Structure 1
Amino acid sequence: MDLSNGSTLKLRSGLRYRSAYDTNPLSSEAAALGYQPWVRTDEQYLGDLSATWSSSNDNLSLTAYVRNIGDNEHRTNATLNLIAQPMGPAIVSADTRLTEPLTFGFVLTARR
């Protein structure tokens, strides 16, 4: 969008869809003990917005952005570690990686 002083403003939005999927498999021993063989990650929608102002000579620009507007954190990977117990197996640790939470910021660019 052209502004009256010759500078420009660009608005952008994006929506990402990630379908449901199974993350790391458990060991065959864990599956044999009755644990589900996979860790399920549900479907997700992630939205982003940004606005960039550029000077009339393009020597200066400022971008403001917001990523993951809904602060929709979800598993991207999961690992479960099991040990045998007399009463049955027990989960002793679980490692999970999450997507980035709501993130926002500014980027200033100067050119000669």
Structure 2
Amino acid sequence: MNAFDDGMAVRREVLGDAHVDRAVAGTTGFTADFQSFITRYAWGEIWTRPGLDRRSRSLVTLTALMANGHWDEFAMHVRAARRNGLTRDEIGEVILHAAVYCGVPAANHAFAVAGPVLDESP
């Protein structure tokens, strides 16, 4: 396999087929290079590295997205974290822990974004 194929496989495993299918269907001539880039690089080169398991990568990703206020991506990765085995309580602990480093307003918003997402899944 190559970085694109590896990346697409991991992307589907972590984000789910429905999400990836929507992203692929929404690809335009304008966004095609970007979709290829994130599939090859983020998913095919970084998420496939052996140094961290997927649970750990989800912990890091949630914190980085919270720190930067990327709330749509944060919600998407809350879902991904559940797929990667994190519990509702563990996700809450990530947000609480990150509050010290990212700030209380960011944590407050992260809880507001994560709550409804977590209510969607068991």
Q: TM-score band, normalised by the shorter chain?
A: under 0.3
Bigger-Rg structure (1/2): 1
TM-score (norm: length of structure 1): 0.23
TM-score, structure 2 as length reference: 0.22
